Structure 1
Amino acid sequence: MGNYFTVNMEENFKRNQDFITEMNTIKIERQVQIRKQMRDRLVALEIAKARELFFWYGSFYLLSLAGAIVGYRSLPYKRKLISLLPMVPLTFVVAYQADLAYGNKIHRILVEAEHIMQFEQELLALPLGIPTAASIDLGRMQKDESKKLHPLLPQT
């Protein structure tokens, strides 16, 4: 009877460990999925912002271009190409924004980010390294100590 009880406890312990491992795996997978969905939403929001800004830049550019052309043509005795010169930098600004909003600039940025992650890891290093549980606890204790010493000061 005692031997059966010990074997049964070991089986239950093993099943509990397997269950906990499976629950932890599901929890981690859910966290990863939540983070991915939040990132996707933030990226979509940034693209939408870029497209909205492009409409404003594009409108400003077209109005400026129309004004510059009218100014160039309406003064026949002063027809100088220098009056169209401000359109050059504006063309670059609008082209950049159009590429960001509707072109493949985001794809090129992702490719460059992947290149940095693969071949330039040293650029990704955090100052003072990855936070540890001890450094987080130390910071928490310092904040608590500061709160005790200066209770009226706003906490950061």
Structure 2
Amino acid sequence: MGFLLSKSMDANLKKQQEFMLHNSRLQMERQMEMQNQMRERQMAMQVAWSREFLKYFGTFFLVASTGLTLGAMKRKTPAMLAPIFPLSFILAYQMDNAYGTLIHRMRGEAESIMASERERLGLPHGTPTFDSVEKARRAKSSLASILDK
């Protein structure tokens, strides 16, 4: 009788372990999907910000270039055209960032760094561990309780 009960409990335990493993895998997949969707939304916001900034900077560049060109022609001083040169580099960068391949080149460079220069990617004091986070949490908790008194 005890053997049958033990065998039944072992089977239930095994089923429970498989169920827990399946649930933890499902939870991990959901977390990874959520993090990926958040990353995609943040990247979309960055591209949208670049495009919006380009509209304003492009307008500024157009007005400034026109004003500097007319001023240089009126005063007959070509030196007034000098600010157009650095401003054009900023405009080209913003155009590349908003509509060009800058993101693709940056991704390629990041992949290269991850493959060949791994030592540059370390965090100060290493990766946080459960113990380090718990120690900091306890320190904050004890400090808050001292301040509340």
Question: What are the Cα deviations for residues 41-76 of structure 1, in whole angstroms up to 9, with x where unaligned?
Answer: 000001000000001110011111111222233x2x
Question: What are the Cα deviations for residues 121-147 of structure 1, in whole angstroms up to 9, with x where unaligned?
Answer: 111111111122221121112112212
Native 8 Å contact 2:72 2:79 kept in 1: no
Q: Distance in 1 between matches of 2:134 and 2:82?
A: 59
Q: CA deviation at 1:6?
A: 2.1
Deviation larger for 126-135 or 2-11 = 2-11
3-state SS of the aligned residue for 2:13? helix
1:101 aligns with 2:98: yes
- RMSD (CA atoms): 1.4
3-state SS of the aligned residue for 2:148? coil
Question: What are the Cα deviations for residues 93-136 of structure 1, in whole angstroms up to 9, with x where unaligned?
Answer: 10010000000001111111111111111111111111222211
**Amino acid paired to 1:50:** S
Question: Which residue of the partner structure matches residue 145 of structure 1?
Answer: 142
Deviation larger for 25-34 or 62-71 = 62-71
Question: Which residue of the partner structure matches residue 129 of structure 1?
Answer: 126
3-state SS of the aligned residue for 1:127? coil
* Identity, % of aligned positions: 36
Q: State the number of aligned residues.
A: 149
1:120 aligns with 2:117: yes
Q: Distance in 1 between matches of 2:82 and 2:129?
A: 56
1:27-38 map, 5 Å: 27-38=27-38
Unaligned residue ranges in structure 2 (runs of 5+): none
Question: Which residue of the partner structure matches residue 12 of structure 1?
Answer: 12
Q: CA deviation at 1:79?
A: 2.2
Q: Distance in 2 between matches of 1:7 and 1:151?
A: 55
Q: CA deviation at 1:2?
A: 3.3
**Amino acid paired to 1:51:** R
Unaligned residue ranges in structure 1 (runs of 5+): none
